[in-house]
Structure 1
């Protein structure tokens, strides 16, 4: 970090990614800041700067770096690797501690799991803590049983069709054998209730128990969400049904201006290929965080772009940059397995690279970014 970058951070004040700390500082106070940043999107701690941005300095302490590193290794659980550097501003030194987005979430100090919210830290709620554990791979939400649901909520015809591909006549099996097969394939939990993944793939009416498992589509006549609404649809059903319906709705709403040359029609507007639309929706359905109960996948179509907004941030080790090269992580392994078996995906990490490549071939650049607890994919039109 150079002087200009440091001055810019100080001028911006404390926020979701920057924290000021004056010295002396208690070790547990620094540990709390590290934990909160690591459990969120990462951040920067400026040692030697007061809360109001006044530069107080670090008094040239030669042991400060070792002290900060020891806190990251011993007071943060699991141990965290941070960066440390010093920058001089008006002959006064400031220590810059860089805390990455943690790759082993959730982190804790003592008995507290902390999250960064705005310019403050807060104890993670039960829902936030569950999402952190899910992101770390400690457990997967799609393997959990659906309360109050039963095997009667599964579509037997769909199960017959699925298992026929593997040589099983599901409907002709004895009840005990069918139940065990469903448990072995993660469609049923050992308790006898459908798993979240099983209900989303083979349920008669998944939204009855999982109202967040739906896609909201809206087509606006303009460039902003406040523009006139042309079309609005709620897409429900199993995930394969949602994917197929969402792609069909987008295609029906995409206008293809054309001219007649000779006896042939020639399109005058290049639009995203069908396979790009399909891959975008599949990724949203398979990788979204279903633990976020109050939010659905949203697809917004504007005059100049399509936005697909999926609840949940990228998992621990995945970044937006890594998506371009095909790095992926199974947030919902049950869903991923069945969507692969049904040929909606191939689990080779080729989805996002294909989206980028196909859009570049028509001269368009895809924009993917995280915003709060959501992942947003923007396809220009």
Structure 2
């Protein structure tokens, strides 16, 4: 990877393009970028992300290697243009670092260029003209067999599970010692890196650099959504029984390590549900939802969702008559909707094993848990049994478009006959 040192960047530019360096001359027509072509730029960025971590430099002629620079008054325009390409012309959108850099041209004068650091992605990106990879200093459209192999390598189906894959651009400093030290035991390696590697919270990338894994980031980072933008719970409470912005009573994006997301998700439901009270002759309180069932449902969603699906978050929606929980991904392995209460299967072994070592952090009445997960497959039966006993209706599981699992838990009716 090309470092931030100006001297190294200059020397690499002098040598010309290669697998990790792309140079582009930029031309303007008024307040519009006329060159390079927008679609061609998208193809170049996606090809690099599909292949290897690299750098694209705008403001350098790729044929003569002459540093021409970018007019200062056009820098913001060019940055917005690149950001728009990354978000709108590449699927899934590409996360990269865009920086304005001052550098010396061939005459020794200081000029401005735009440096784009493109990490090797967790995903396979499609650009306007297809799927590309980088070979040397050029891009090549991928043949079907190469594309299929790349999808397999970057999906959950590969030998290395998705939650054990490294997250590009991360480092050891992205993991918090107070979060990963809680998994230590007397038998754990004393040296930090050895311990993190053994726990599979870090691993080496193709260049030998230590990176946080997906599971490590989700369990030992205070802000995993910075690198995995969909790794959060979108919680919304609605007035009545239907959705609509005007009907929203409360809304919150719940971020943080997964055990915190579980705790805060339960708090959101508890603070927004009704608790009915009657005197018979002593006061009896009946909540709309069993918090033990809600806890198990959120744990299952967080532990078993498919984190390889870009742009899909967990959605927790509370209505006056029900709770709906949407979890990205199909049902793991050969399970079906009908067998979901009888079978056990873990999509994310690393995440599940780490949650099984996290002390219980939710006040869930009737729960016998000491740790957040037990890995014995008891969660779904608890959701069904306790919810049905409270509301009189069996919770419903549904698979939407084979890409999202929906759980509906029905609310207990008011003993007073109101809603």
Unaligned runs of 5+ in 2: 1-143, 359-370, 412-419
Deviation of 1:243 after TM superposition, in Å, equals 0.2
SS where residue 189 of structure 1 aligns? strand
CA displacement at 1:129 relative to structure 2: 8.1
Q: Larger % of helix: which?
A: 1
After superposition, the C-alpha distances for 1:211-246 in whole angstroms (9 at most, x for unaligned) are 110000001101111261100011000000000000
Q: TM-score, normalised by structure 2?
A: 0.55
Q: Does 1:375 pair with 2:405?
A: yes
SS at match of 1:199: helix
Q: What SS is found at the alignment partner of 2:306?
A: coil
- 2:207 corresponds to 1:190: no
Does residue 351 of structure 1 match 2:351?
no
Count of aligned pairs between the two proteins? 249
Find the counterpart in structure 2 of residue 240 from structure 1: 259
* Alignment partners' CA distance in 2, 1:158 and 1:215: 20
Where do residues 329-344 of structure 1 align in structure 2 (5 Å cutoff)?
Answer: 329-342=345-358, 343-344=371-372
Pairing 1:1-381 to 2, within 5 Å after superposition: 130=151, 134=155, 136=157, 138-163=159-184, 166-167=185-186, 173=190, 177-191=191-205, 192-226=210-244, 228-260=247-279, 264-267=282-285, 269-325=286-342, 327-342=343-358, 343-362=371-390, 363-372=392-401, 373-381=403-411
Off by >6 Å, runs of 4+ in structure 1: 123-129
**Whole-angstrom distance in 1 between the partners of 2:175 and 2:252:** 25
SS of residue paired to 2:399 = strand
Asked if 2 retains the 8 angstrom alpha-carbon contact of 1:215 and 1:299, the reply is yes
Shift of 1:167: 1.5
Structure 1 portions without partners, runs of 5+: 1-122
Report if aligned partners of 1:309, 1:377 keep a CA contact under 8 Å in 2: yes
Task: Note if contact 1:235-1:245 (Cα within 8 Å) is conserved in structure 2.
Answer: yes
TM-score (norm 1): 0.61
Cα distance per residue 1:231-273 (max 9 Å; x no partner): 00110000000000000110000111323455x4323x55322
CA RMSD of aligned residues (A): 2.6
1:112 equivalent in structure 2: none
Quote the offset at 1:204 in angstroms. 2.8
Instruction: Give secondary structure in 1 for the equivalent of 2:346.
Output: coil
CA contact (8 A) 1:214 1:297 kept: yes
| 1:239–1:285 CA contact under 8 A, matched in 2 | yes
Distance, in Å, in 1 between the alignment partners of 2:148 and 2:269 is 33
